[in-house]
Amino acid sequence: MTKQTPISIPMEDDPVHTADTYYFCPDDPTCPCREDETLIAGLAALVEAGEITADEATAIVTGTSR
């Protein structure tokens, strides 16, 4: 059996933002999505509904949730 070594393939596309998948860029703290009031309002609604905590919402916006 031959040993296979994984290779890295850098992503060259722009980040894709979809409310179903990602509210904010996980790796780009300078992305304007972090200041998008519509996205922030969506997270606030999740906090109000009790689906996530305020700390979790903050971590999502700041990109520290992993």
Looking at residue 21, its pLDDT comes to: 56
pLDDT (0 to 100) of residue 41: 92
C-alpha closest to that of 43 among 59, 30, 32: 59
Its pTM stands at: 0.60
What are the boundaries of each domain within the chain? 19-66
pLDDT tens digits for 22-40? 667 777 777 788 888 988 8
- Compare 48 and 13 and report the one with higher pLDDT: 48
Contact present, 14 and 25 (Cβ < 8 Å): no
SS3 content of the chain, % helix, strand, coil (to 5): 40, 5, 60
Strand, coil or helix: 18: strand
